[in-house]
Amino acid sequence: MTYPKIVVSLVCILAAVGVYAGGDPDFVAFPQGYDTSFTNYVTLNRVGKELVAKMYANNVAVSSYETGKTAGSGSILVMEVYKPKKDADGKAMVGDDGIYVIDQLAAIAVMERRDNWDAAYPAGNRVGDWGFAFYGPDGQPKANELQCVVCHTPLQHQDFMFSHHHLVSHVGSQ
């Protein structure tokens, strides 16, 4: 391969990495202040991973589940993803409640539901009117190799949410 072809290839690869930032942060914005204005409805270990998830829902989502089984347009869910503390042997520490002991915030995932998405937002990047984005602890878009739509699509009976049961239970207990 010649030098110009290598340079062009590298530029294309780096451009693709820069554009793909985990979900669609151009359409699903980071919800500033969510940690004080949203409801924290559950904290749990992520299934199959040594990570802790703290789940939050905005008032639109909470009030939607008070009256029905699906989130209304304008609902926003946030998942803070934490790395657990490790013991001297490098094993994740578990608290008395069975949840890993939180060490540091690693990422923030956002789901937003709208019935009026911008036409420029590809329908194939959404499911059930839910859009997705992935952010770093600083609120800036973060690269993510996961494809949110692929994992959430089979969850139609749960309003496309892994934490649907937890949110509905939380709302019902208030």
| 116 located within any domain | yes
2 within domain boundaries: no
* Structural domain for 45, as ranges: 22-172
Q: What are phi and psi of 148, to 5 degrees?
A: -50, -45
Is 15 within a domain? no
Q: Report the distance separating Cα 104 and Cα 31, nearest Å.
A: 20
pLDDT value at position 22?
61
Q: How far apart are CA 143 and CA 157, in angstroms?
A: 29
Is 44 inside any structural domain?
A: yes
Structural domains of the chain, count: 1
Q: pLDDT truncated to tens, each residue of the chain (174 aa)?
A: 444 433 333 333 333 333 333 689 999 999 999 999 999 999 999 988 999 999 999 999 999 999 877 899 999 999 999 999 999 999 999 999 999 999 999 999 999 999 999 999 999 999 999 999 999 999 999 987 778 889 899 999 999 999 999 999 999 887
In a domain, 159, yes or no: yes
DSSP secondary structure of 4-15? HHHHHHHHHHHH
Residue 164 lies in a domain: yes
pLDDT for the residue numbered 21: 39
| Whole-number pLDDT of residue 8 | 34
Whether 73 maps to a domain, the answer reads yes
Closest CA to 61 of 126, 129, 119: 129
In a domain, 7, yes or no: no
| Distance between start and end Cα atoms, the chain | 65
User: Which CATH number characterizes residue 168's domain?
Assistant: 3.50.70.20
